[in-house]
Amino acid sequence: MKFRTYKNTDLTVSEVGFGLWTVSTGWWGNFTEGEAVALMHKAFDLGITLFDACGNGLSEEIIAKVFSKNEMSLL
């Protein structure tokens, strides 16, 4: 995985991101919360650290459930 650092910061994220609207809006099929959680863990295991929380608020709730406070500092 390639990473980039935001200009004038020490914040580094993966070049590839995970748009959570795919699992939270139903536009790309209906995912159970368990499936969404599994997909996010798989993405993180593959090196993705950029998660785009958008949609109807559900994606923010899922992020909070998936990642502990310690893991959130890695994102």
Give tens-digit pLDDT for 1-43.
Answer: 999 999 999 999 999 999 888 888 878 788 888 898 899 999 9
Task: Put residue 8 in one of left, alpha, beta given phi > 0 → left and psi -120 to 50 → alpha.
Answer: left
The number of beta carbons lying within 10 Å of the beta carbon of residue 1 is: 9
Name the 3-class secondary structure at 25.
coil
User: How do the domains of the chain map onto residue ranges?
Assistant: 3-72
- Among the residues of 1-75, which ranges form H helices? 21-24, 33-45, 58-66, 69-72
Structure confidence at residue 73 (pLDDT) = 54
